[in-house]
């Protein structure tokens, strides 16, 4: 914080202190629920209470050895990866198209594309249910993958679109003038440069699907129970600390994904040079 040195007047110092205090409070507000859960997963007792009777890894063991939990984790991965892949293709194509489309209808189309984010989840879920039930897509992996793709695509459009906005169109023009077909230019020039944007888009898409519970409640059969769905029924039926172990595992996965993303971003900055 080199800013500190420039804080000369008392009022500036008070403002600075207030900023620190408020930010810390907000930070605690955001992070406390997650932090509160973590120690419980290492409890040796069977209840979700403090103080911990002792430390153990029994709930992690329980999570890993339980066929139900493992099955739901596998489901979450399958549906998450598939809907991420699908929404990446759709969302990237949409973002590329929108980026070079000059029309006064563009905001309208964009709003339309982004609508799944704004519409309440329950409404989307009910709508999808009535749409999918007659064509036999409820209670199937495909149905869930398609539904999650619909939810995740807007996030891809937003993140990839933002990356394309800062992309220098002269670079694709330069590639074309050097003889590169649009596909070659995309592969060799555009794709490597927007890769961090794509990665964060993919991360958002995966997280959207991995977290989603409302649509799964409506559409999944017993075979397609995902991790959040399993946690949901776990809480309602028998509150076992295994849930907290699952929560910690989920959180750790997210943190690793985020860290990877940041690493990618930095590597890309470095590649662009300057340092």
Which positions touch another protein (CB under 8 A)? 168, 170-171, 173-182, 184-185, 188-189, 192-193, 268, 271-274
Decide if 78 contacts 144 (C-beta within 8 A): no
What are all long-range contacts of 163-169, with beta carbons under 8 Å and residues at least 24 apart?
163/194, 163/196, 163/197, 163/198, 164/95, 164/96, 164/99, 164/194, 164/197, 165/99, 167/99, 167/193, 167/194, 169/100
Radius of gyration of the chain (CA): 23
Output 1 or 183, the one with its CB closest to another protein. Answer: 183
Q: Provide, rounded to whole angstroms, the least separation between the CB of residue 171 and another protein.
A: 6
Burial class (CB in 10 A: 0-12, 13-18, 19+), 166: exposed
Q: Provide, rounded to whole angstroms, the least separation between the CB of residue 189 and another protein.
A: 6
Output 120 or 273, the one with its CB closest to another protein. Answer: 273
Q: Provide, rounded to whole angstroms, the least separation between the CB of residue 175 and another protein.
A: 7
Output 65 or 170, the one with its CB closest to another protein. Answer: 170
Q: Provide, rounded to whole angstroms, the least separation between the CB of residue 88 and another protein.
A: 20
Output 222 or 275, the one with its CB closest to another protein. Answer: 275
Preceding omega of 51 cis (within 30 degrees of 0): yes
Of 189, 117, 191, 119, the residue nearest 160 (C-alpha): 191
Q: Provide, rounded to whole angstroms, the least separation between the CB of residue 192 and another protein.
A: 5
Cα–Cα distance, 182 to 191 (Å, whole number): 12
Q: Provide, rounded to whole angstroms, the least separation between the CB of residue 168 and another protein.
A: 7
Output 11 or 170, the one with its CB closest to another protein. Answer: 170
Output 1 or 271, the one with its CB closest to another protein. Answer: 271
């Amino acid at each position: 914080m080199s800013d500190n040195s420039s804080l000369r007047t008392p009022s500036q110092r008070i403002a600075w202190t207030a900023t620190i205090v408020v930010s810390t409070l907000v930070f605690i507000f955001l992070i406390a629920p997650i932090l509160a859960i973590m120690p419980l997963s290492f409890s040796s007792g069977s209840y979700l209470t403090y103080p911990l009777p002792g430390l153990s890894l029994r709930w992690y063991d329980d999570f890993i050895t339980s066929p139900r939990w493992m099955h739901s984790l596998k489901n979450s991965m399958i549906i998450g990866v598939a809907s991420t892949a699908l929404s990446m293709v759709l969302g990237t194509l949409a973002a590329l198209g929108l980026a070079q489309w000059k029309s006064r209808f563009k905001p309208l189309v964009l709003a339309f594309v982004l609508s799944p984010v704004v519409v309440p989840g329950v409404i989307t879920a009910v709508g999808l249910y009535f749409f999918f039930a007659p064509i036999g897509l409820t209670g199937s992996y495909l149905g869930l993958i398609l539904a999650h793709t619909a939810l995740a695509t807007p996030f891809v459009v937003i993140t990839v679109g933002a990356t394309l906005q800062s992309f220098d169109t002269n670079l694709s023009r330069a590639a074309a003038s050097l003889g590169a077909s649009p596909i070659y230019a995309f592969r060799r020039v555009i794709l490597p440069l927007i890769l961090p944007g794509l990665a964060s888009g993919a991360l958002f898409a995966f997280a959207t699907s991995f977290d989603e519970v409302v649509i799964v409640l409506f559409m999944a059969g017993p075979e397609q129970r995902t991790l959040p769905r399993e946690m949901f029924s776990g809480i309602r039926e028998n509150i076992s600390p295994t849930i907290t172990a699952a929560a910690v595992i989920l959180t750790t996965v997210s943190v690793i994904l985020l860290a990877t993303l940041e690493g990618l971003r930095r590597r890309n900055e470095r590649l662009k040079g300057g340092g």
